[in-house]
Structure 1
């Protein structure tokens, strides 16, 4: 019955999805625009209260359906783990260890900046990982969509969708031009668990080192797979607990104290 009561929400979601898929993947140089970006922008416009397309109450109820979508996402990620166990077992040590940087790097560099700009519990969700789909699912499952951590992880997820690919392209191109790192090391770093960011990163690296094109594509793809597969377990058992303890240590506060001040 609740689904029928919110039929407009589901109808809009379906229409937006169809339009986004019809536009498809668009490439502008090294920058790749995915249907997710179009859906996000269209969803932003239909949710503006002054347009009166959706009520605030309806938009708040949409968070309830996000949990269902998250469960489907985690099933999809889980189904991709089994067939790729051989790749994980044969991956080189360097490829495995570089995954640590994808997660702890966000804590070391992201948390201080988040605290300096005044973020509180939002910093936990925003800085514990690169905040792609599986990482969003972990936070929503543990803390809820409307929690401070949920706001933090969704804020970074949206930033990644909007400017992540462009930033990754510029950054990868800069380091490739500087020659500080081997092109295969740059390829490994390009696989951060996001297909769009990986594609945007590998293009300028290949442009600078065309003789390594095959190896760059293979290593970037393997690193991206490892981040997606291992990221779920690493996020749950390592990076998120470390992030919470690090936040508590630097702020001298607990989650209960922060929530009490917010009046939740």
Structure 2
């Protein structure tokens, strides 16, 4: 909280990003919407020691401790939007609850791909979910972050933090433009348990459907909240065991032997 350098840099980046504003590109019948959040993310990456070296490792660590606080404020703002649209949300409650089963799709897609790319036990942490904070905590509790599973979940967590917001914002625009899905369903689909990814997706949808922006934000926030509540249990009881089972099957297909319980490189 006392790192004034970070606060000043954030203020400057916010001002620059808001001055650029929302940029839209027509692509066929659809529109790609670039939001100020995207610019701020890119500018922030450029300030790191790998590029312009304006911030150092300590600055980055200090900034990381404020991420959760910032997201709490964001979710509080979304909470105020849920109330006025509560009747619509209640009508859609079965879809909001059942959508969590859709997140299991990452297991069926991620496990075979990870194994074929050569990952070993890292596959378990990387492919069991989208690897946000609750999933990192789950892997830490079950396997520990020092092992291969911990490296897998942290790798996806970092990639999601850096690229997830960009991907979700653009993906929402493409889905709205090219898929015959209602904007409400896309808003619900954006709530995968990551406030920043959900905000980027809902922001893109709101720019394309400004007359629905409050309802879209409410659906996205409600969906994200439910994903945060039941997503951890889905991962613990369904996704993680399913990931272990699929990993063993695809490991045998690729290597022709049973999968070891630990990463071979870590065996004594």
TM-score, reference length from structure 2: 0.68
Structure 1 residues 171 and 255, CA gap change in structure 2 (3 angstroms): same
Structure 2 matches for 1:72-151, cutoff 5 A?
Answer: 92-102=93-103, 104-151=104-151
Does residue 1:32 correspond to 2:33, yes or no? Answer: no
User: How far apart in 1 are the matches of 2:147 and 2:5?
Assistant: 31
The range that moved more, 18-27 or 200-209, is: 18-27
Distance in 2 separating the partners of 1:18 and 1:231: 36
**Separation of aligned partners in 1, 2:194 and 2:112:** 24
Q: CA deviation at 1:42?
A: 5.2
Judged with a 3 Å threshold, the aligned counterparts in structure 2 of structure 1 residues 220 and 255 are, in CA distance, closer, same or farther, namely farther
Partner residue, 1:9: none
Q: CA RMSD in A?
A: 3.6
Specify whether residues 195 and 18 from structure 1 end up closer, same or farther in structure 2 by C-alpha distance, changes over 3 A only: farther
- 8 Å Cα contact 1:202-1:220 kept in structure 2: yes
C-alpha spacing 1:244/1:92, structure 2 compared with 1 (3 Å): same
Structure-to-structure mapping, 1:167-186, within 5 angstroms:
167-186=167-186
Counterpart contact for 2:96–2:223, Cα < 8 Å: yes
The structure with the greater share of residues assigned to helix is: 1
TM-score by length of 1: 0.69
The answer on whether the counterparts of 1:31 and 1:200 sit within 8 Å (CA) in structure 2 is: no
Partner residue, 2:25: none
Question: SS of the residue aligned with 1:153?
Answer: helix
Q: Does 1:199 align with 2:199?
A: yes
Q: Residues 19 and 120 from structure 1, CA distance in 2 versus in 1: closer, same or farther, beyond 3 angstroms?
A: farther
What secondary structure does 2:263 align onto?
A: helix
Instruction: State the structure with bigger RCO (CA 8 A, min sep 6), 1 or 2.
Output: 2
Structure 1 residue ranges without an equivalent (≥5): 1-13, 46-50, 55-68, 81-86
Counterpart-to-counterpart distance in 2, 1:250 and 1:18: 50
1:189 equivalent in structure 2? 189
Flag as ranges the 4+ runs of structure 1 deviating above 6 A: none
For the residue of structure 2 that corresponds to 1:98, the secondary structure is helix
